[in-house]
Structure 1
Amino acid sequence: MIYKIRVILDAEEDIFRDLELEAGSNLEELHNAITQSFGFLGEEMASFYTCDENWVQDEEIPLFDLSEGDQDGHLMRAITLSDVMDEDSPKLLYVYDFLNMWTFFVELADITPKEDGRSYPNLLFSFGEVPESPPEKRFEADEGPELDEPFGSYDDLDFDENWN
């Protein structure tokens, strides 16, 4: 089976790519298809994140294991598209280049039979130009109750000025 996937850059303007990959392709192959279709070299760190229908991120699936444990089964190369995407959970988040935080919404649009003579992955459609720098992110916390300073004035605390 073939997964038709729309990859949307998190930006104010519409910038997206429609890709086709085999359902048995691993996430590293999807990573390569995304970076190539958006004109990136593909040399930076990247991760996919499972998410819910509201794009709330859940489990990270990194390109490389940077932990000290053996996490090989939880890397992009070990997980197929069909392992993490289906009609009931069609969404993933993808972050490329953690210094610049290029963020993409990845959504399964359709599952179709494989066409003879077509090679995969396949770029079906490209819309919009990628900006030279990533769109600015606004990280806003939920507004909570206003809190007073927990200790009032710090002048009343008995700290030795030369404590270290």
Structure 2
Amino acid sequence: MIYRFRVILDNDTEDDVFRDLEIREGDTMEDLHNIITQSFGFDGMEMASFYVSDDQWNQGEEIAMMDMSEAGNNVKMMSTTTINTIIHEASTRLIYLYDFMNMWTFYVELGEIVEEAQGTDYPNLMFVHGQIPDQAPEKVFEAEEDDDDDYNEFEDEVDVDDYSDLDFDENWN
């Protein structure tokens, strides 16, 4: 069977940037990584990971390019994990992070599962929409969205040199 994915750049601009691609269900997550990087024009030489996602795009279990875990922690590896063990009708979404220094973030969603077409080479880039920007879109975190410019974390009227109100002996050691 062939899985058809839409891969969307997490982009705060008005222009949508996405790629539609096809890949065999038995191919590895590394094969999926390779077609994603190629379809967006990356060289594929940076660190990357997939994360299983739910319907609200919450980040779940990691499928890593390289095992950076500590002893005893089993991490699924892209090179040994087949797509159909992660993605199926009940679990259709992944988050893909490429280049941990720049944090290119993509939403990967299974669109449909179809029969393999005779004469088609897989993986297959089906459709390209939008151009990837020169730099990864900056992430805005919730704390940064507050427009309370009057707030200063250091203006809490606490004198850090005054120990009289504290419940400990300053010569405790």
TM-score between both structures, scaled by the size of structure 2: 0.82
One-letter code of the match for 1:94? Answer: Y
Q: What are the within-5 Å matches in structure 2 for residues 53-132 of structure 1?
A: 53-69=55-71, 74-132=76-134
Q: Which moved more, 1:42-51 or 1:132-141?
A: 132-141
Q: What displacement does 1:36 show?
A: 0.2
Contact in 2 for aligned 1:73/1:79 (Cα 8 Å): no
Residue 156, structure 1, aligned to residue 158, structure 2: no
Shift of 1:151: 10
- Partners in 2 of 1:31 and 1:94 — Cα distance? 8
User: Which 4+ residue blocks in structure 1 deviate beyond 4 angstroms?
Assistant: 70-73
1:42 Cα shift? 0.1
Listed one character per residue, the Cα deviations across residues 25-68 of structure 1 (whole Å, up to 9, x for unaligned) are 11000000000000000000000001110000011111011234
What is the TM-score normalised by the length of structure 1?
Answer: 0.86
Counterpart for residue 150 of structure 2? none
Structure number with bigger Rg: 2
Q: Percent identity?
A: 50
Aligned residues: 158
Is 2:7 aligned against 1:4?
Answer: no
Unpaired runs of 5+ residues, structure 2, are: 147-152, 164-168
> Structure 1: how far apart are the matches of 2:162 and 2:54?
48
Query: Conserved in 2, the CA contact under 8 Å of 1:7 and 1:16?
Result: yes
RMSD between aligned residues: 2.6
Q: What displacement does 1:153 show?
A: 3.0
Contiguous gaps of at least 5 residues in structure 1: none
What is the match of residue 28 of structure 1? 30
Distance 1:72 1:115, change over 3 A: farther
Go from structure 1 to structure 2 and tell me whether the alpha carbon gap of 1:151 and 1:67 turns closer, same or farther (over 3 Å shift): farther
